Amino acid sequence: MDPPVPLQPPPAPRQFPWRALEAVPAFLMLFGAIWGLVGTIVTIAFTVTGGPFWDDLILDRRGVGAQAIPTSVEPTGIRINHRRVFRIHYTFADTSGATRAGAAGTTSGGVISQARHQTPLAIEYDPRMPERSRLRGERASVIGLFVLIPLAFGSIGGVLFALGARRALRQRRIYVHGQSALATVTAAKATAMRVNGQRVIRLDYVFETILGPISGHATSRRPPPVGAKIWVLYDEADPRYNVVTKDARG
């Protein structure tokens, strides 16, 4: 006995149930959001604690030398090559004679010892923004360009999220406004993806339009068997863009 044909979807516009969202765009948005959020948080944390990497680029171009008087030395929670970074606070006079305050990080035991004994230190500062300074021969940013690593992960996450959101919005548009058609399941193949411990299945199907037969595919965790009839919704302007209804996803 042939399985019963499911009820035809209601006419457009329809409500889009989140259960009908395909696994791929859902995975892209979730995975992308996690990568993007973690990458952004780590980038901000590195930039705040270690200083922005662009400070060194600016000081390389227009840094001015000066002698600074150390005022305090404090350890930070950052380690580089297993050596703790210490932050040295100091004051110095700019080219106009005004007293400025600055701070810089270092792992150099000699420089730290000099600062603790309040021995003058050679520094470089930005005359346009004297608060931007560094110890001569060292970097203003303790982390440096390594901050670009979490930034790259965050950017990749943002791209993945955008791709997933684009697919989800297109699926929603077709689901709400698309033309319905009865399709036949032609294949069901397991993918490498799992959602909530369940294997995601790729569902292939074919349906008829005034332009001829159109094939499509979707993802499902509990797909109907090969040969079963399912309802699909497609874009009348381009039937290649089509989705299955939530009932066909199992």
How confident is the model over 48-103, as pLDDT tens digits? Answer: 777 888 999 999 999 999 999 999 999 988 888 888 989 999 999 998 899 999 99
What is the pLDDT, as a whole number, of residue 140? 85
pLDDT tens digits, residue range 138-181?
888 877 777 888 889 999 999 999 999 999 999 999 999 999 99
What is the pLDDT, as a whole number, of residue 249? 59
- The three-state secondary structure class of 200 is strand
What is the pLDDT, as a whole number, of residue 45? 85
- What share of the chain has pLDDT > 90, as a percent? 57
pLDDT tens digits, residue range 7-26?
888 888 998 888 778 878 88
What is the pLDDT, as a whole number, of residue 193? 79
Q: Report the C-alpha dihedral over residues 53, 58, 61, 64, rounded to 10 degrees.
A: -110
Distance CA 20, CA 175 (A): 9
**Model pTM?**
0.69
Q: Where do we find the tokens 């705040």? A: 48
